[in-house]
Amino acid sequence: MRLPRRAALGLLSLLLLLLPAPEAAKKPTPCQRCRGLVDKFNQGLVDTAKKNFGGGNTAWEEKTLSKYESSEIRLLEILEGLCESSDFECNQMLEAQEEHLEAWWLQLKNEYPDLFEWFCVKTLKLCCSPGTYGPDCLACQGGSQRPCSGNGHCSGDGSRQGDGSCRCHVGYQGPLCTDCMDGYFSSLRNETHSVCTACDESCKTCSGPTNRDCGECEVGWVMDEGACVDVDECAAETPPCSAAQFCKNANGSYTCEECDSSCVGCTGEGPGNCKECIPGYAREHGQCAGQ
């Protein structure tokens, strides 16, 4: 069975040559295109399931449906819905690989029920099974069952690209993503699993979850009686803010806020915290007010 799409593809190819080329970074890989085609095929299976049935004659419907389920008619309906007319690459892949899809549908789907595995991995060799990578679909670091110890992403996972190395999730480091970064501590570690948990915000390094478990304090905190406590920068002998600002302390930091426009210097927000009033203003009821 061959669908009449060559003429349309030729015209579409000509039109696409006249359009600006898309950015290479946005262009899908061959594996992504293959996976997308399979996803649409599987959606087509859902969309055509029990199509046009449900009239009431159950015995007739079951007999007819059993024939339709594996028929060329259903395959044709699915194939016709796989690609938008404007999707050149989808149509190009479908045109080139239609015979493979037809063979799988009519002869091989019972033996190989996973279309993606049979079509994209084993037949076209555009993708790899999950947990494997590269031209030869080698196992990722840490093994194909739990790449990167479950704490990272394997470079090239599921594709014919990459080098299989681990890109660890936040908080993890090391070749297999089993070690904890600064700011995290190991809350669980055995032969198969490693869990890193965030330290208290006051800790740069730690061995547990509280500010008393810090090995070293973060900037803006200081060790005091075995615990990292906040440094009140606003209480320093030399004020950290300008004369027209007041200091507001925060955990591990501080901010400088502008004084009220009626103030010459201030200790806090609003006209009630002025050190002095600007010319034309005088203190009334504890606040600087215009005269």
Predicted pLDDT of residue 172: 98
Tokens 């190819």, residue located = 13
29-43: average pLDDT: 94
Question: What does the mean pLDDT of the chain come to?
Answer: 88
pLDDT value at 30 more than 70? yes
**Distance between CA atoms of 181 and 174, rounded to whole angstroms?**
9
Predicted pLDDT of residue 66: 64
**First-to-last C-alpha distance (Å) of the chain:** 94
Spatial contact of 93 and 37, defined as CB atoms under 8 Å apart: yes
- CATH domain 179-230 topology: 2.10.220
Percent of the chain with pLDDT over 70: 86
pLDDT-based confidence at residue 51 (cuts at 50, 70, 90):
low
CA separation (Å) from 285 to 72, 115, 129, 161, 175?
91, 81, 77, 74, 67
Question: Could you tell me whether strands 287-290 and 253-258 are parallel, antiparallel, or unpaired per DSSP bridges?
Answer: unpaired
Predicted pLDDT of residue 108: 95
Which among 92, 114, 112, 108 is positioned nearest to 38, based on CA atoms? 114
Report the length, in residues, of the chain.
291
Predicted pLDDT of residue 134: 96
pLDDT value at 1 more than 90? no
pLDDT value at 23 more than 50? no
Predicted pLDDT of residue 21: 46
For the stretch 191-228, pLDDT in tens is 889 999 999 999 999 999 999 999 999 999 999 999 99
Predicted pLDDT of residue 62: 55
For the stretch 247-284, pLDDT in tens is 999 999 999 999 999 999 999 999 999 999 999 999 99
pLDDT value at 180 more than 60? yes
**Distance between CA atoms of 283 and 270, rounded to whole angstroms?**
13
Predicted pLDDT of residue 199: 98
Domain assignments of the chain as residue spans, ordered by start: 30-52+61-127, 128-177, 179-230, 233-290
For 60, other C-beta atoms within 10 Å of its C-beta total: 11
Predicted pLDDT of residue 24: 44
Spatial contact of 208 and 186, defined as CB atoms under 8 Å apart: no
**Distance between CA atoms of 38 and 56, rounded to whole angstroms?**
33
Lowest mean pLDDT among 53-67, 80-94, 220-234: 53-67
83-110: average pLDDT: 93
Which among 190, 170, 192 is positioned nearest to 180, based on CA atoms? 170
Percent of the chain with pLDDT over 90: 77
Half-sphere exposure of 21 (CA within 13 A, CB side): 4
35-60: average pLDDT: 76
pLDDT value at 141 more than 70? yes
